Structure 1
């Protein structure tokens, strides 16, 4: 599944590049307003922090919500206490777009993450041109050289990389990069099976000074509490927010 998602995202990016060249998108990225400081926004605190996600659909769950106005949803997230907004920009399975990201960036004052299956510099420049402050890198989907090159480019553009892992070996790669924001995804992106205890297994190997993000398998406050007890500084939440009242649900999650 991950290989298919990566291949599809790459194919779509190549189609966009036919309409807007690498040099054009790079120029737009360099001309964009400076990115926000995501590391400060997500820094460990007395209470858990939440990255709230704009997510219409997923391969595992199908259609979740129509979200006709992603900007308004993001405004609700910010009002509800989210520390950052994640925007799915993958179009085939998640029904997102860069236009969603641009709308969200224009509506909120907190950091915005481009969540997609990024494997080329073109996609990184797209993220920055659209206003992203963070970009997702999935270790399982990238070879070591590409991972390092994309991580370096993200840093050079002033953004923050959320480096996503699912195994101890991937976590080692993330740490070797010097990643300051590391996610542990409870969902195996190859099989889409969930292991909510995976975060706790790997979190102890993440040194202090690195922000720990728990991803997936969050439907209730008890799930947030589970991750917090295992050492999560931040929890990324999508489905539970787009299928319920976002402000009320955020309040319940932040109260753990």
Structure 2
């Protein structure tokens, strides 16, 4: 991890961001013609941003704090690691790296240059409709099967990884939708995998499983053929979630808003128009998994509100057996996002049948 803090490129990007006043989101078009929306409400780096995030219970810092003065060794400059600029958990480390990565990608391919790709992108498929149809057909939670080669906690899950073949096997096994990891550094995924699956004729709608911190990423995902994107409440303040869901609506994309605890769930339920909420059963601090988290977040008034609004809740993490599926279904989950327990199977289609206790293919 140490080399992450010593790269001059990181420092130059950080300096540009600081001087430009860039904070949580960037100016983004209202449509694919290049016209721009008003800039979303921004906060300055530092104390104001920290106060905003703290007020909403956000524990993931978007970027490293400024840190101590620069140190010089020959022609290079770097910051010493300390408590302030060392990631506190793996999600924060991923987000800090993603901030640098996205800044570099935007420089190479500004939004204006995405126009042609957006115009030529394949039509958006109905992600939420596919989940509802599957749930009605099987009377079981609809499956979002994840095309996932590796994870930070488990390492490589499948050595003989062919994303298109795995996606086709998932579809054959009864998956309603697919989730495709696009983060390269931590999950060994790519946008090329997403594009290849879409171009291979797989009919299941595709969720771009990316760590989105900038509106540009939503446009890029659509250009690559995504039908839905993931927005993480632990990373994004309310203003960003509202802003980004509006962009998704304009592009026809579904937005899966992921929560981990009661406070995040309450924040998301306070936002109008939310149709899809994912409950991640993994603790951000310890990375331990407890599927009873789904039940806890769906009890009482929260569960009633979700039913009244007809929001689809997706259970995420820790689902390996038919008993696990039954447990979260009884809690109120109508879809599940599963990767590890099926991608590791030599025959993913049979893995799906084993997960649900029966064949759910059409």
Please classify the TM superposition score into its range, dividing by the shorter chain length. over 0.9
Residue 9 of structure 1: CA displacement?
1.9
Q: Deviations over 1:6-52 (max 9, x none)?
A: 12122222222232222112442244222101111111422221100
| Count of residues in Structure 1 that have an aligned counterpart in Structure 2 | 256
Q: 1:150 to 1:63 in 2, by over 3 A?
A: same
Equivalent residue for 2:143, pick from 50, 74, 78? 50
Which whole-Å CA distance do the structure 1 matches of 2:276 and 2:240 have between them?
18
Q: Using structure 1 for the length normalisation, give the TM-score.
A: 0.94
Question: Which has the larger displacement, 138-147 or 42-51?
Answer: 42-51
Runs (5+) with no aligned partner, structure 1: none
Is the 1:54–1:74 Cα contact (8 Å) retained in structure 2?
Answer: yes
Residue 190 of structure 1: CA displacement?
3.8
Aligned match of 2:281: 186
Which whole-Å CA distance do the structure 2 matches of 1:239 and 1:254 have between them?
14
Aligned match of 2:230: 136
Residue 196 of structure 1: CA displacement?
1.2
Q: 1:190 to 1:146 in 2, by over 3 A?
A: farther
- 1:100-111 equivalences under 5 Å are 100-107=193-200, 108-111=202-205
- 1:144-183 equivalences under 5 Å are 144-177=238-271, 178-183=273-278
Residue 184 of structure 1: CA displacement?
0.2
Q: 1:189 to 1:101 in 2, by over 3 A?
A: farther
Counterpart of 2:270 in 1: which secondary structure? helix
Question: Which has the larger displacement, 52-61 or 16-25?
Answer: 16-25
Higher relative contact order (CA 8 A, sep 6+): 1
Q: Deviations over 1:178-221 (max 9, x none)?
A: 21010000012343121210001112324120001000001222
